Structure 1
Amino acid sequence: MNLIGDERLDYLLAENLRIIQSPTVFSFSLDAVLLARFVAVPIQKGSLIDLCSGNGVIPLLLSRRTKGTITGVEIQERLADMAQRSFDYNELSDRLRMIQEDLNVVTPQLGHARHDVVTCNPPYFLTPGKEELNENDHLTIARHEIMCTLEDTVRVSSELLKQGGKAAFVHRPGRLLDLITLMRQYRLEPKRIQFVYPKEGREANTILVEAAKDGKADVKILPPLYVYDENNEYTPDMKEILYGKRD
C-alpha cells in the first residue's frame, strides 16, 4: 500500500476492511456509517451509486451487504484516488469503482434510469462568506454547498434511478423539509425516516431518509437511534453498527 503524506490505513471494524484516511484531506464521519446501515440494498445483485463519495467509505461498507456493483462519484481528485486505492487494497475493485467527476454531469456516463440504489451524504451547509470558509479546500468542498447543492444531489439521484429504485440521504434535521420538498419535486417519494440523537433527552442532530422513485405516498417513521447512553458510552445499537457486536 502506497500512502501519501499524512495518510493512514484505518480499520472498518464491523466489516473487517481497511480504508485510507487523512486528517488534513478527509476522514469519514459517523453519518456515513449510519447511512450505509440504513439504506435497503439488493443482496445478490444490482447497481448502486454513491454520490459525494469522499474517500469511498459508503461503497466499502455496502460491499458487505450486497454482491452488486457499486460506483462512487467524487469531484475531488485526491479523495477519489484515496477511495480507489482502498478498493484495490481490499481486493474489491472487481465490484467497486470510483469516478472522479462533477455529479452534475455524470448521468450520461453512468446511464439514465439504470440503477437500483443511490446513496448520498451531501455537503450539509449553505455556502457562507469567504471569511467563514475552512482554510482547507478539501474540507470546505466536503462540508459546504460549493460544488453542488442539495437540489443537485436529489435531481441527479432521480435521474440515475430506475422506477421503484431507492435513494437514501443523511442530513441535518434543519434541512428535513428542504430534502422532502426536493425529493417530491424530482419524483422521489419518502418512504422511511429515522432520527438520530446524541443521547436520550437531547434534540436529534441527524436524519436518515429513504425514498422510492415514483413510489406511493406512505412514509414510515422508524424507532429513534441513540448514539450514547447516560454514561457517554456507545449504546448497544451503536456498538453493533460500529463493531459488529452489541457488547
Structure 2
Amino acid sequence: MKIKKSWVKNSLGYDNDLFIYQDKNMFNYSVDTILLANLATLSKKTKDVLEIGVNNAALSIFLSQRSDLLHIDAIEIQKEACDLANFNINMNHLEKRINVINDDFNEWWKKHTKNVGKKYDLIVCNPPFYRKETKIKKNISDAMLKATHEITLNLEDIIKGSSKIIEQKGFLALIIPPERLVDCFVLLKKYSFEPKRVIMIHPRQYQKAILTFVEARFQTGWGVHFEPNIYLHPNDPSKHEYLEEVVKLYQPQKLK
C-alpha cells in the first residue's frame, strides 16, 4: 500500500521499536491512548481482546506488546482508518495477532452474537468524548468528527454492545472525560457491569482532571476503588515534560 502525503511517521511510546503512521486529517494518538493500553488489567488468562474504534491501531499495537498471549480484534467503521490501521499493523509485523474488522460496531455485535462468536476477556475503547449536540468546531474533517463526537457511536452503544460479547467477569476499560463519569457509571450498572477501578488524570496537581480511566467487570460483585491520581506534568507551568511515572507508562508494561 502506498504511503499518502497526509501520513506522518511517529514513534509509538518511548524507547521501543514501535512506529506508526498517522493521518493529519484524522484522530492522532495521545497520552490517553497510552494510558488506556497500560492501565487495562491483564492476567495470564487474558487472551481474546476487542478494541472498539481502532483508528490508526496505535492502542492495539501498543497493548499487544504487554503480553504475547493476546489476540486482538479491532473494529472500526471508517474504511480509510482501517487501511491505515492495517498498514501500521503490517509495518510492526503484528498481522498474526491483530485483526482489523471494518464494520459498524452496533451492527457487528448483533451478527457476532447471532453467530455465537467468541466472548472477549477484555474490551478496550477510547470512545468519542463529545455528545452529538456539542458545538462542533469549524474546519473539522468528517473522520475527526466521527472519532471525537457521538455521531455513529455513543457511550451507551459501547457499553450495551460490550455486555453481549464479553465473558462473565471480563474487563471493560475506557478513557472518558471526567464530565461523563456519572453517565458512565449509570450505563455500566444498567448493563450489568460493576465499576471497579477509577483513576483521575490531571495535567498538574493544582489543575482539575482532564481524563478519567474507568475499568469495569461484567456480572461480578459490587465495589469501586478510586486509585491514586496520575499527574502528567511538573507543577511549574513553564515545564511541559512528562513526570517520571508518566514516562514509564510510555513503555508497554509487560505482563509478569
TM-score of the two chains, using structure 2 as the length reference: 0.89
Partner of 1:204: 209
> Does residue 182 of the first structure (1) align with residue 187 of the second (2)?
yes
> Does residue 109 of the first structure (1) align with residue 117 of the second (2)?
no
Bigger shift: 210-219 or 128-137? 128-137
> Paired residue for 1:156, among 161, 165, 173?
161
- Letter of the 2:108 partner, please give it: V
**1:89-168 matches, cutoff 5 A:** 89-107=91-109, 108-109=111-112, 111=116, 114-128=119-133, 132=137, 134-168=139-173
Cα-to-partner distance string for 1:165-224 (whole Å, 9 max, x where unaligned): 000010000000000100010111001100000001111110000000001111111110
Cα distance in 2, alignment partners of residues 95 and 161 from structure 1:
19
> Does residue 69 of the first structure (1) align with residue 74 of the second (2)?
no
Q: Is the 8 A contact 1:44 1:68 kept in 2?
A: no
| DSSP 3-state at the match of 1:21 | strand
| DSSP 3-state at the match of 1:196 | strand
> Paired residue for 1:242, among 228, 234, 250?
250
Following TM superposition, by how much is the alpha carbon of 1:21 offset from its aligned partner in structure 2, in angstroms?
0.3
Partner of 2:11: 11
Superposition misfits of 4+ residues, deviation over 6 angstroms: none
Cα distance in 2, alignment partners of residues 229 and 137 from structure 1:
36
> Does residue 87 of the first structure (1) align with residue 92 of the second (2)?
no
Q: Is the 8 A contact 1:26 1:79 kept in 2?
A: no
Cα-to-partner distance string for 1:93-136 (whole Å, 9 max, x where unaligned): 10111111111011223755611000011101011378656531
Question: Residues 207 and 130 from structure 1, CA distance in 2 versus in 1: closer, same or farther, beyond 3 angstroms?
Answer: closer
| DSSP 3-state at the match of 1:194 | strand
Percent sequence identity is 27
Q: Is the 8 A contact 1:194 1:209 kept in 2?
A: yes
Give the length in aligned residue pairs. Answer: 245
Cα distance in 2, alignment partners of residues 162 and 131 from structure 1:
37
Q: Is the 8 A contact 2:65 2:252 kept in 1?
A: no
Structure 1 residue runs without a partner (length 5+):
none
Partner of 2:38: 37
TM-score of the two chains, using structure 1 as the length reference: 0.92
Following TM superposition, by how much is the alpha carbon of 1:22 offset from its aligned partner in structure 2, in angstroms?
1.4
Cα-to-partner distance string for 1:73-110 (whole Å, 9 max, x where unaligned): 11111111111111111111101111111110112237
Cα distance in 1, alignment partners of residues 100 and 119 from structure 2:
17
Question: Residues 42 and 12 from structure 1, CA distance in 2 versus in 1: closer, same or farther, beyond 3 angstroms?
Answer: same
**1:206-245 matches, cutoff 5 A:** 206-231=211-236, 232=239, 233-242=241-250
Following TM superposition, by how much is the alpha carbon of 1:6 offset from its aligned partner in structure 2, in angstroms?
1.5
> Does residue 58 of the first structure (1) align with residue 69 of the second (2)?
no
Structure 2 residue runs without a partner (length 5+):
none
Following TM superposition, by how much is the alpha carbon of 1:241 offset from its aligned partner in structure 2, in angstroms?
1.4
